[in-house]
Structure 1
Amino acid sequence: MTDAWEIDPAYELYIGRWSRLVASQFLRWLAVGPGCAWCDVGCGTGALAHTVLRTADPARVVGVEPSQPFAASARAATDDPRFEVRSGTAESVPAEDGEFDRVVSGLVLNFVPRPHQGLAEMRRVTRAGGTVAGYVWDYADGMQMIRAFWDAARELDEAAADLDEGVRFPLCRPQPLRDALSTAGLTGVEVHPLDVPTVFADFDDFWRPFLGGQGPAPGYCTSLPAGRRDELRDLLDARLGRDEAGRIALTARAWAFRGTVSR
């Protein structure tokens, strides 16, 4: 099974709405001044790039995205003339050496086939003294929505363990992230937790995003026969707590990272 990232509305329902919350925290942590040239690698539907445009007063923002539906969505969501989207990947960024002051990525690094090569490429297109930065979900523990899903799935199906993002993606933890950035030649490496609330109105609001097929957990969910999918749904329904209003109040932790290009 491959990780699908193509359907804009399904992605927004599953992750996009939470990614936008993290993007705002991430940019406050970076505390970058105005007038910079930014590159958002793997910009997707534009959660991070659009937040940069709204809050960081950039000179320009270039999004890099391999998915044509996502790229089209990112373009359509803003008419800001400072924004453009180029077709490319983290391992092959369509930009000149040192073209940008800040090169960032949101929730992308774990899905790069060769993440160390992706970081090296991000470093290549960043000017000397510039910053490479981003954030990834804490799949191992702190991204509670996805953690709850895989804990239940693994209880019902031993094969689900091999698909669990907490197992598949070692870069969802602080020390492997620090090591990866240092290996890519970045200096002054920092890793910082970002926590956002993920409050679901009811169980249906929690469950429906897993039926959209976007990403590892929804991909696994939609691959199940109907009876096994219902069994997984029922286990999660019984396990997740509600507040007095019937809401499921969880939190999502991302690990933010940054390093400086010193060449």
Structure 2
Amino acid sequence: MAERSSGEWSSGEAYERYVGRWSRRVAAAFVEGTVVPPGARWVDVGCGTGALTSAVLAAADPGLVVGIDAAEPFVAHARATVGDPRAAFAAGDAQALPVRSNGFDAAVSGLALNFVPDPPRAVAEWARAVKPGGVVAAYVWDYAEGMELMRWFWDAAAVLDPAVAELDEGRRFPLCHPDPLSRLWQRAGLTGVVVRAIGVRTAFAGFDDYWLPFLGGQGPAPGYAVQLPEEHRRALRDLLHARLPIAADGTITLTARAWAVRGSVPHR
């Protein structure tokens, strides 16, 4: 993650319970499709709690991964939990990375780009950090349709409070679609731009496994849930319980889709 308000993103543990556990599955699929030679130097922009950094370390045989995030609590969480000598973490701005130009073989970012105030500036900055021929790649949730755990929440919330539509990530983040992502990469001067879908299964042991992470306050939907009056929050909980596809054994199985985009830094 990157460029989030400190109030909205203040607990790595709560974020993990909410969406971090699912983002790790997407990160693994993303790295598998982002072909970078062994021994390469990676920078993970908006590293959050370390999901993408961990996936790179596990599957890409990097020489170094530098994780950068604006949220100090997330940097601390990643530093404490990743535990690999090939990884380093630092606080920093996605739009002004504290790294030298052409110092990396790949710049990647997971679930962060839509939170950056100026995405074109950010992507240009990521390209600056990568040597010619290197890779710049990122992925974001398909908030409008494919990220079902959030979609069910916002659709139910809108029944009780139509004004909540303005908070819905599906409306707030029009960037999170294939065409806007492709145009953003191309306008940054990157070549061979490709966008692909990544889908993972999100299985919940029961309704509480789905609902309780929304009470951790980490992200737009949980932030909305925790500020509701108790009676309204209970009504939202009950409506979700009635609407979700809960199996006879109490489990809930949803899917989460992300859009991944990649391109190469041209030789100058």
Same fold, judged at TM 0.5 (above): yes
Alignment of 1:147-226 (within 5 A): 147-226=151-230
Tell me how far apart the structure 1 counterparts of residues 249 and 261 of structure 2 sit (CA, whole Å): 36
Q: Does 1:122 align with 2:126?
A: yes
Under a length normalisation based on structure 1, what TM-score does the superposition of the two structures give? 0.97
Where 1:175 maps in the other structure, the secondary structure is: helix
Which sits farther off after the overlay, 134-143 or 82-91? Answer: 82-91
CA distance in 1, matches of 2:69, 2:250: 38
Give SS of 1:170's match: coil
What are the equivalent positions in structure 2 for 1:54-203 lying under 5 Å apart? 54-203=58-207
> Quick one: which amino acid aligns to residue 108 of structure 1?
A
AA partner of residue 71 (structure 2): S
Which ranges in structure 1 are unaligned for 5 or more consecutive residues?
Answer: none
1:39-50 superposed matches below 5 A: 39-50=43-54
Deviation at 1:81, TM superposition (A): 1.6
Deviation by residue 1:15-46 (Cα, 9 ceiling, x = unmatched): 11001000110111113221100000010110
Distance in 2, Cα, partners of 1:85 & 1:246: 40
SS in 1 for 2:175: helix
Q: CA separation in 2, counterparts of 1:184 and 1:156?
A: 42
Aligned partners of 2:206 and 2:252 also within 8 Å:
yes
CA–CA distance in structure 1, aligned partners of residues 82 and 205 of structure 2: 29
TM, length-normalised to structure 2: 0.95
Supply the AA of the counterpart residue of 1:123. Answer: A
Structure 2 unaligned residues grouped into runs of 5+: none
Deviating above 3 A after TM superposition, structure 1's stretches of 4 or more consecutive aligned residues are none
Aligned-pair identity in percent equals: 56
- What letter matches 2:198 in structure 1? L
CA RMSD of aligned residues (A): 1.3
Matched position secondary structure for 2:39: coil
Deviations 1:157-192 (CA, angstroms, capped at 9, x unpaired): 121011000000011111111111111111111110
